[in-house]
Amino acid sequence: MPPSNRHNVTVEWGDCDPAGIVYYPAYFRWCDQATGRLLQALGIVRDPLVDGQWKEGTPLVKAECSFRRPSQPGEVLTIESSIARVGRSSFEIAHLFRDATGAVAAEGRETRIYARKDGDARSLKAVAIPPEMRRRLGA
């Protein structure tokens, strides 16, 4: 079974558009937060800063989300996040958003790379995921 984590989020008024349903960027924010919680639960320090600059970390290179049904203010969604794939220098995280009945409200997916940089953002390069991190990701 792949490493996973679960937590709840309450849909707030500010997460919604004028129609009263979750505005799509909220799902991407929740996916990012869920990734942080999953990595933390796995004991992976996320994007450490050295001298005020990050030198290596796990930047997002692809994000997608499918919306299965509208969610509204006051609803509690359970986000189930799991490592879906681990490659040489990248990994994917799957996110399922379930309502109180267990029905899927949305499905998200992120692809992140393990990267290093020396200087500005243009120096960013994907590198092999370190062995200890690979182990924690379930590879």
User: Which CATH number characterizes residue 17's domain?
Assistant: 3.10.129.10
Environment class of 66 (CB within 10 Å of its CB; exposed 0-12, middle 13-18, buried 19+): exposed
Q: What's the domain count of the chain? A: 1
Which pLDDT score, from 0 to 100, does residue 29 have? 97
Task: Locate the DSSP E strands across the chain.
Answer: 4-10, 49-50, 53-54, 56-57, 60-67, 76-86, 90-98, 104-113, 115-116, 125-126
Please list the pLDDT of the chain residue by residue as tens digits (139 residues): 788 899 999 999 999 999 999 999 999 999 999 999 999 999 998 666 666 677 888 999 999 999 999 999 999 999 999 999 999 999 999 999 999 999 999 999 999 999 998 878 788 899 999 999 999 999 8
Nearest alpha carbon to residue 109 among 42, 45, 40, 60? 60
Query: CB neighbours (10 Å) of residue 101?
Result: 6
Which one is catalytic: 17, 32, 99, 120? 17
Which pLDDT score, from 0 to 100, does residue 11 have? 97
3-state secondary structure of 122: helix
Catalytic-residue membership of 17? yes
Domain of residue 77, residue span = 4-136
Which pLDDT score, from 0 to 100, does residue 55 have? 82
pTM of the prediction? 0.91
Which pLDDT score, from 0 to 100, does residue 48 have? 64
Which pLDDT score, from 0 to 100, does residue 118 have? 84
